[in-house]
Amino acid sequence: MGVNTANAYGRISVTDDVIAQIAGLATLECYGVVDLVSKRLSDSLADLMKKKRVSRGVKIITSGDRILIDLYVILKYGVSIEAVSQSLRTSVKYRVEHFTGMVVDAVNVNVVGVKV
């Protein structure tokens, strides 16, 4: 679906895929994050056939000009889950709002696993 905004110069449309890529890149740059993973097994099987996508473990829900982001991540063993999750929320929210100019309502971090 995506989000839309308009100003004096015209209309801007940002698709969910672009938002997911921005959020995915911001997630992978955070300390303690090993990888993004798909929520469903069918998504994982489909991803095996394609080259690695940055937006694999990111789910975007848009409502008007508001954005809700769900992240499915694997963290490094030994890091504080709370600290990494807070860092992820802050970083992803800032990056998406900075790039799109839209408001991010929430960033939900789902820790799927831990890797040594």
Please tell me whether residue 35 adopts helix, strand or coil conformation.
Answer: strand
Q: How many domains does the chain have?
A: 1
Residue 42, φ and ψ in degrees, nearest 5 = -65, -35
Residue range of the domain that includes 102: 3-115
The structure tokens 């799109």 sit at 100
pLDDT tens, residue by residue, 64-91: 778 999 999 999 999 999 999 999 999 9
List the one residue out of 69, 67, 70, 20 whose CA is nearest residue 40: 70
Q: What CATH number did the domain enclosing 77 receive?
A: 3.30.70.1350
The residue behind tokens 């409502």 is 63
Q: Write the CB contacts of 18 (distance below 8 Å, at least 6 apart in sequence).
A: 2, 100
| 36-49 confidence digits (pLDDT tens) | 888 765 555 555 55
